[in-house]
Amino acid sequence: MSRNFLVVDPEQRPEVLRALASPQRIRILRLLHNRPGVNVNEIAGALDLPQSTVSSNLQTLEDAALIRTETQKGRKGQQKLCFLAFDDVLVMFRDDPNGAQANVIEVAMPIGLYTSCEVSAPCGLCSPDGIIGLLDVPGSFLNPDRMNAGLMWFTRGFVEYQFPNNARIVGKSIVELEFSMELSSEVPGTSIDWPSDITVAINGREAGVWTSPGDYGDTRGVFTPDWWKLKGSQYGMLKSWRVTREGAFVDGVKISSLTLDDLDISAHHSIRLRIEVKPEARHPGGVNIFGRGFGNYDQDIVLRVTTAP
């Protein structure tokens, strides 16, 4: 059975180290490794911890993308089930470009530099300094100032990005590609219980759907500017879509049978990424996409391509 690895640069991902620096959270991770898909009450009972303590620790682990959660119907309303995102975490101190990361090519794409879009209101764009164009006017998504966007949201539709296929430029074959981005659902105001089915497609082929649990506004995002109203969306969850020769994965969990061979990336000069909320989705709950200057991670949409040695 293949194992899911997370390689951490401590300077870029200090929240992962903070999340691991707790005996209680380590116990929770060990439990989820052996018993995936348990809820807060089950974790509290198994570890003999107060439910409030477990809830706060789970939030820390989820913010660091070390676990993922799914909301499902229980006997009394909704329940949140918890899953381990990675089997192993490797902290990388190496700063040698000829070392272990020499075969990784990374491109960061600002969220406003999409090449095509089709969105429906409510929708909008913000830079760290203010609103771009007019709120709830889809035509504002064509505003040239969109290149400065750090937050965008829409109810239905898509945005599509075109990344350079740098592996083809250097004449190397790709063995894995990964997109990471900070996302949440979108609801007027905010709601932690507002599921939304967000579809990611690569080069016109659907990699799979991730259901965002909600739209978060309980606290200000770590990087969200002070002028942005606290009633609005504040942060999301950092999600990773990965495609290998074995299939497509979200945070290490297989979601579809799409493989690198299906994408035939070597035949294309670019790698296209589409983020979409489909009208026919079971949970068409909109999407927030957080970039630099907003949310909890202060990053663009990042493409990482691993090439053959």
Place of tokens 């740098």: 166
pLDDT at 71: 80
Determine if the peptide bond prior to 122 is cis (ω within 30°): yes
Question: How is the beta sheet containing 270-277 ordered, strand by strand?
Answer: 116-120, 156-164, 270-277, 196-202, 205-212
For the chain, 309 residues long, give each residue's pLDDT as a single digit of tens.
334 567 677 877 889 899 999 999 999 999 998 898 899 999 999 999 999 999 999 999 998 889 988 887 766 677 889 998 877 787 777 554 444 456 888 999 999 999 999 999 999 999 999 999 999 999 999 999 999 999 999 999 999 999 999 898 888 899 999 999 999 999 988 999 999 999 999 999 999 999 999 999 989 999 999 999 878 899 999 999 999 999 999 998 999 999 999 998 988 889 999 999 999 999 999 999 999 999 999 899 999 999 988
How deeply is 7 buried, as exposed, middle or buried, from its count of CB atoms within 10 A (0-12, 13-18, 19+)?
Answer: middle
pLDDT at 4: 55
pLDDT at 95: 56
State the Cα torsion 201-202-208-211 to the nearest 10°. Answer: -60
Q: Which two tokens stand for residue 76?
A: 């009394």
Place of tokens 């909600």: 214
How deeply is 145 buried, as exposed, middle or buried, from its count of CB atoms within 10 A (0-12, 13-18, 19+)?
Answer: middle
pLDDT at 74: 67
Give the separation between CA 162 and CA 271, rounded to whole angstroms: 6
pLDDT at 304: 94
Closest to 102 measured CA to CA, from 172, 165, 169, 163 = 172
Q: Which amino acid is at 49?
A: L
Number of neighbouring beta carbons within 10 Å of residue 67 = 24
pTM metric for this prediction: 0.70
Q: Which two tokens stand for residue 13?
A: 């991902």
Residues in the chain, how many?
Answer: 309
Q: At a CB cut-off of 8 Å and minimum separation 6, what does 178 contact?
A: 240, 241, 242, 243, 303, 304, 305, 306
Number of neighbouring beta carbons within 10 Å of residue 169 = 10
